[in-house]
Structure 1
Amino acid sequence: MRSIRSQVFLAVLGLSGLTGSSAFAATAPVVAVNREIGLSITGSFQDALSSDTTSYSGTTSTSTGRTHSYESGWNSNSRRIGWTPGFRADSSVMFDAFGISNLYASAQFGLQDGQRNYKYHFASHATASSPYTFRFGGKDDAKATSTRGEIGKGFLMLSQSLLLTPFAQGGYLSSGFDNFGDFGNFFVGAGLKADYALTSRLVLRGRFGWSAVLSSHTGYDYGLSSSAHSLWQGGVGVDYRMTQHLHLTAGGDYSYTHRAEADASNTNASNSIGIYSLGSLPHFQSQSSSLSNDVTLHAGGGIEEPLIDVLGR
């Protein structure tokens, strides 16, 4: 009886394996790479620059009617540059539904934690005092997370050797010093993925995307408004099928983000109390801008969806 049960069990496993093999054989390699769950180690390089300028100007009047003008302000510049290690988890699926083929959905989460070089310069000036300046630099903690989701539709071309997938995307980026949530931004956008099969095992991958950042931290509370904050993304990679279900992955991604110059101003007309003129209240101006270039290299592996189906039976 035990022998019969063992034979039946082995037969079921064999049938499941054949079913998985048949499903894979019928799947184009460029589609198969979009049906994986993967994990990678990453190394991320960032070069981030930011600058802020603030100035006050106005006039004061004495009881004798003499008028004095004054001006004061400050500006600061900072730069963060260096590599940080991390990891990335990916999951994607491509399926047919509602009479539509190669529908696509994916999710990705990445984390970075390390130190980068940090340089800071500050200078201030005022009409009635000498200029003041200082600078410092050193190592600084750098923590960041990236969460992204995509949905789209794939189009097979060139005898199923090429797959083009336009997609919509959205996600959340966070960064910090002592913790991961000091600063955060939601983003939404669109892009295009391209997968090309050199062989039945090796697939070249490319990706381009653009997003609008929905909110940004400006650091001022005086009616400061920021113009469009854009996030550009691009990446290349390879996916190599070692076994029927196990894949090796590697590649690099580049992103560029820029917060356009932000301006704020507040001008008040002259004022007076009785016979004493107060002159004009301060005229306030502020400008702020930042940009960041980020390169992330990744290497890891993935499990193709048919194996997950087999293990789940």
Structure 2
Amino acid sequence: MKFVVSNRFIIRTGCTALAVTGAGLAARADPLPVIAIHREVGLAAEGQFTNYKENFSVETAKGLHDRETGGTPGFEFKAEDMLDIGPIRHVYASVEFRYNNGTTRYNGAYQRSHDPLIATDGLETKDVRAELGKGFLIGDRLLITPVVQFAYHDWNRTLSDYSEDYRQLAVGAAVHGDFALTRRLVLSARLGWAETLDPKMTATGQSVTIDRHSYTLDPLHFPLGDRPVWQAGSSLDYRMTRHVHLYGGVDFQRFGYAQGKTRATIHGRSVHSTYTEPDSWTQTIVLTTGLAWSF
């Protein structure tokens, strides 16, 4: 028995194979640049400038204001993804960890004499932020992504044998905007707001006099008042290869603490201290440069 294969059959079969191959290549094609930058795991070096200033409400206490300024080195780790979940497209999730350690310049005063005190202060900060949201594509070059954010901040400063540790949670919202300048280069911006939750400061090495007895309070707890957190940032992401991206940016953040009352425990007895933690504001500027693996 002979089988005769016509030219029409060969052409039709070839076209079908090309169509299947093309569909497969399309499925594996690179995502849009504004999507690809949100499918990364990255590690970066960073430098942080900190400006901390206290603000007493009474005029006579101006000499006691603490101010802390300086730059410290650190690093950043980030992981983010943008994926489709069922009918919902471009679901965004990310987590970011930042660590900084170094010294800053302390400007303050002795609490009893009010004489000026200028010294070098140790600084260590740890920041964690997680975000969840949804991206909205406008054409192929612009992506707008509103998110909710959850953050944790820990700042420890040490002066001689005295140290203070500030901790806070924060919950808020933010919006990302990404614009593809080219197929390889994407410009991004971020604006955010959050509210601090249960901020507190713990001091060690502090001493007070109660009933004519001097006590060293280890630790002394300062519950602080809630205040807003304001954030703004901008970055560039450059695709060097299919998977390797070079990125860098600058982030600004301003947050504060409202004055709180002091409570300490001495030999099992809960007491109020005459010390209070005043109103304060902190501004940070962080410069980041690193490499990311795009998946």
- 1:225: how far off? 7.5
Distance 1:195 1:201 in 2: 13
Distance 2:27 2:179 in 1: 20
Counterpart of 1:289?
279
Distance 1:137 1:22 in 2: 64
1:154 aligns with 2:135: yes
- 1:217: how far off? 2.2
- Aligned residue identity for 1:296: V
- Aligned residue identity for 1:167: V
Counterpart of 1:35?
39
Q: Select the structure with the greater relative contact order (CA < 8 A; seq sep ≥ 6).
A: 1
- 1:173: how far off? 0.4
- Which runs of no fewer than 5 residues in structure 2 stay unpaired? 1-21, 204-221, 263-273
Partner of 1:256, secondary structure, is: strand
Residues 27 and 135 of structure 1: is their aligned pair in 2 closer, same or farther, counting only changes over 3 Å?
same
**Among 167, 187, 196, the residue aligned to 1:204:** 187
Counterpart of 1:176?
156
1:202–1:239 contact (8 Å) kept in structure 2: yes
Counterpart of 1:59?
none
- 1:258: how far off? 1.9
Residues 211 and 117 of structure 1: is their aligned pair in 2 closer, same or farther, counting only changes over 3 Å?
same
Counterpart of 2:79?
91
TM-score normalised to structure 1 length: 0.69
TM-score normalised to structure 2 length: 0.73
Once superposed, what is the RMSD of the aligned Cα atoms?
3.2
Distance 1:165 1:37 in 2: 19
2:100–2:126 contact (8 Å) kept in structure 1: yes
- Residues 163-211 of structure 1, C-alpha deviations (whole Å, 9 max, x = no match): 0000000021001135999221111110100010011100001001111
1:303 aligns with 2:293: yes
Counterpart of 1:81?
69
- Residues 18-48 of structure 1, C-alpha deviations (whole Å, 9 max, x = no match): 9998556351110010000000000000110
Q: How many residues align?
A: 242
Counterpart of 2:255?
257
Counterpart of 2:6?
none
- 1:99: how far off? 0.5
1:238–1:251 contact (8 Å) kept in structure 2: yes
User: Computing the radius of gyration over CA atoms, which structure comes out larger, 1 or 2?
Assistant: 1
The farther-off stretch of 208-217 and 234-243 is 208-217
- 1:155: how far off? 0.1
- Residues 89-131 of structure 1, C-alpha deviations (whole Å, 9 max, x = no match): 010000001210000000000000000011112465xxxxxxx
Counterpart of 1:140?
121
Counterpart of 2:241?
243
- 1:83: how far off? 0.3
Counterpart of 2:103?
115
Partner of 1:177, secondary structure, is: strand
Partner of 1:109, secondary structure, is: strand
Partner of 2:104, secondary structure, is: strand
The farther-off stretch of 172-181 and 242-251 is 172-181
- 1:263: how far off? 8.0
Residues 213 and 251 of structure 1: is their aligned pair in 2 closer, same or farther, counting only changes over 3 Å?
same
- Aligned residue identity for 2:288: H
1:78–1:119 contact (8 Å) kept in structure 2: yes
1:47 aligns with 2:51: yes
Residues 219 and 39 of structure 1: is their aligned pair in 2 closer, same or farther, counting only changes over 3 Å?
closer
Residues 287 and 83 of structure 1: is their aligned pair in 2 closer, same or farther, counting only changes over 3 Å?
closer
Residues 240 and 122 of structure 1: is their aligned pair in 2 closer, same or farther, counting only changes over 3 Å?
same
- 1:160: how far off? 1.6
- Aligned residue identity for 2:251: D
